[in-house]
């Protein structure tokens, strides 16, 4: 399961949903499933996603 520090979901109506506390996410044919400390969220109206991972070099 991929992990990201920040995940932004761009919907077909050009609105955006951004997650910053991500346990993991899964892209699939019907959209994207995202796991956070609050639970699981499924988005099916996905145009694209942007996942950002901080480099290990910057974290040190």
**19 in Cβ contact with 6 (< 8 Å):** yes
Residue-level pLDDT at 57: 56
Q: pLDDT for 3-20, tens place per residue?
A: 889 999 999 999 999 999
**22 in Cβ contact with 3 (< 8 Å):** yes
Residue-level pLDDT at 2: 84
Residue-level pLDDT at 48: 94
What pTM does this model have?
0.81
Three-state DSSP class for residue 56: helix
Residue-level pLDDT at 54: 83
Q: pLDDT for 23-47, tens place per residue?
A: 999 999 999 999 999 999 999 999 9
Q: For residue 35, what are the β-bridge partners?
A: 24, 40
Strand runs (DSSP E) across the chain, as ranges? Answer: 6-11, 16-19, 24-28, 31-36, 39-43, 46-52
């Amino acid at each position: 399961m991929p992990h990201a520090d920040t995940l932004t979901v761009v919907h077909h109506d050009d609105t955006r949903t951004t997650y910053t506390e991500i346990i993991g996410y899964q892209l699939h044919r019907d959209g994207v499933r995202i796991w956070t400390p609050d639970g699981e969220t499924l988005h099916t109206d996905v145009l694209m996603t942007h996942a950002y991972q901080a480099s290990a070099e910057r974290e040190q």
